[in-house]
């Protein structure tokens, strides 16, 4: 374990948990101890409630990627199956059939279910809710591209939360990149060392940024302990993309879209660069539209009436968030009713 520098405040690393997290670079102090002078959501919040914060999950932020490759592979796999049957190559045909099934599975993962599986911090109840899609029955994997997906909501005590900063490597093409993130370790009892569950909170941070997860934890810690606001003017909601057709179609095309006018005013070289990007339009539009299709086919996660009632009402709008940050919006504490697990 290491020691993280948080602004001008040094975060002391606490004793290890059991079992240890192999990706963890630091175990942050308990929630009653300040971990950083700075606090920020890090752009990972999808919904703000009067008494709650919901963070997007890492896979939700990558929605649409798998289906992009699945759709590209699908016609090739079908053609290989047809050729294998006609030529009588049964052993290679079995391998191709497995790959075809995987391509369908990639499409299904992105087109069926929920847009994300968030983690909800419920200040009114002192709980942490984790939304989990349980998926389709095994016999429907790889072929059912429609219908509802089952889900459940796991609830944990806030008093049993310990925060870990993790670091891992991802590959963008052939280039490795270090990422960091915030993980909640749930102990069996408040102040305990035995971990019963771990899950990420919000999307990861790029290029080995170890400070940002600490600041995210500090924002959560202050919010849950009534030591800080739910929202500030420096915070911003998670910026999802691929939610409208034309912005998705003009992905990475600077001469079109919402910022096109500002790009054109940059001069001749900006125009040359924009025209050059048009040669990649079939590729950029393909990935953008597939992401849009995924967004349209998937559903918003639902917390249920009882949990929403405890949060004090529906998610706040952008205008309400700004008013909340400025101190002009007063919210009523949520009713502390006991939530039930939903499926």
pLDDT on residue 251: 92
The partner residues of 175 in beta bridges, in order of sequence, read: 172
**Residue ranges in the chain assigned as alpha helix (H):** 58-61, 65-87, 90-111, 211-224, 245-249, 260-264, 268-277, 281-297, 305-310, 318-325
Is the pLDDT at 11 greater than 50, yes or no? no
Can you tell me which residue has the tokens 């992905």?
Answer: 251
Distance (Å, whole) CA 180 – CA 172: 15
DSSP per-residue string spanning 10-27: EE---PPPBSPPTTEEEE
**With b meaning 16 or more CB within 10 Å and e meaning fewer, what string describes 112-141?**
bbbbbbbbbbbbbbebbbbbebeebeeeee
Is the pLDDT at 142 greater than 80, yes or no? no
> Which helix (H) or strand (E) segment is 181 a member of?
strand 175-187
Reported as a pLDDT band with limits 50, 70 and 90, residue 169 is: confident
Q: What is the dihedral of CA 65, 68, 69, 75, to 10 degrees?
A: 160
Distance (Å, whole) CA 66 – CA 227: 41
Note the pLDDT tens digit of each residue in 56-115. Answer: 998 888 888 889 988 988 888 878 777 777 776 666 777 777 888 888 888 888 888 899
Q: Residue 288 CB: number of other CB atoms within 10 A? A: 23
Q: Residue 248 CB: number of other CB atoms within 10 A? A: 22
The partner residues of 135 in beta bridges, in order of sequence, read: 150
Q: Please report, for the chain, the start and end positions of each structural domain, with discontinuous segments joined by +.
A: 4-63+115-325, 68-110
CB-neighbour burial class of residue 159 (10 A; exposed 0-12, middle 13-18, buried 19+) = middle
Distance (Å, whole) CA 150 – CA 133: 6
Distance (Å, whole) CA 136 – CA 134: 7
Distance (Å, whole) CA 149 – CA 134: 7
Please give the mean pLDDT across all residues of the chain: 85
Distance (Å, whole) CA 220 – CA 201: 10
Give the mean model confidence (pLDDT) for residues 156-165: 97
> Which helix (H) or strand (E) segment is 178 a member of?
strand 175-187
Is the pLDDT at 340 greater than 50, yes or no? no
pLDDT on residue 333: 54
pLDDT on residue 138: 60
197 or 240, greater pLDDT: 197
Angle at 147 between CA 129 and CA 81, to 5 degrees: 120
Cα torsion angle, 85, 90, 92, 96, sign: positive
Of the candidates 329, 341, 295, 342, which has an alpha carbon nearest to the alpha carbon of residue 49?
329
Is the pLDDT at 253 greater than 90, yes or no? yes
Note the pLDDT tens digit of each residue in 201-218. Answer: 999 998 878 999 999 999
């Amino acid at each position: 374990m290491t020691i993280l520098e948080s602004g001008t405040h040094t975060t002391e690393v606490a004793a290890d948990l059991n079992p240890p997290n192999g990706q963890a670079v630091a175990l942050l102090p308990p929630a009653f101890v300040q971990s950083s002078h700075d606090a920020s959501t890090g752009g990972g919040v999808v919904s703000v409630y009067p008494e709650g914060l919901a963070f997007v999950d890492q896979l939700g932020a990558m929605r649409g990627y798998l289906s992009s490759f699945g759709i590209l592979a699908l016609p090739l796999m079908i053609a290989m199956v047809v050729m294998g049957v006609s030529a009588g190559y049964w052993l290679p045909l079995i391998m191709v059939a497995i790959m075809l099934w995987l391509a369908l599975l990639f499409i299904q993962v992105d087109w069926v279910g929920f847009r994300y599986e968030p983690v909800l911090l419920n200040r009114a109840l002192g709980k942490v809710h984790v939304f989990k899609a349980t998926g389709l029955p095994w016999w429907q994997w790889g072929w059912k591209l429609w219908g509802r997906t089952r889900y459940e909501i796991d609830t944990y005590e806030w008093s049993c939360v310990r925060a870990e900063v993790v670091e891992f490597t991802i590959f963008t093409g052939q280039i490795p990149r270090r990422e960091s993130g915030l993980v909640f370790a749930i102990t069996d009892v408040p102040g305990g060392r035995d971990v019963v569950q771990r899950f990420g909170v919000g999307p990861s941070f790029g290029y080995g940024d170890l400070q940002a997860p600490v600041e995210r934890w500090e924002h959560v810690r202050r919010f849950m302990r009534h030591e800080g606001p739910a929202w500030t003017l420096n915070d911003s909601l998670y910026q999802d993309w691929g939610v409208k057709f034309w912005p998705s179609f003009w992905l990475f095309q600077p001469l079109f879209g919402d910022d096109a006018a500002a790009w054109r005013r940059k001069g001749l070289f900006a125009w040359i660069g924009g025209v050059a990007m048009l040669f990649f339009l079939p590729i950029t539009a393909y990935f953008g539209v597939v992401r849009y299709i995924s967004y349209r086919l998937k559903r918003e996660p639902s917390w249920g009436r009882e949990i929403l009632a405890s949060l004090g009402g529906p998610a706040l709008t952008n205008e309400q968030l700004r008013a909340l940050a400025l101190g002009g919006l007063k919210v009523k504490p949520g009713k502390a009713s006991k939530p039930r697990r939903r499926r």
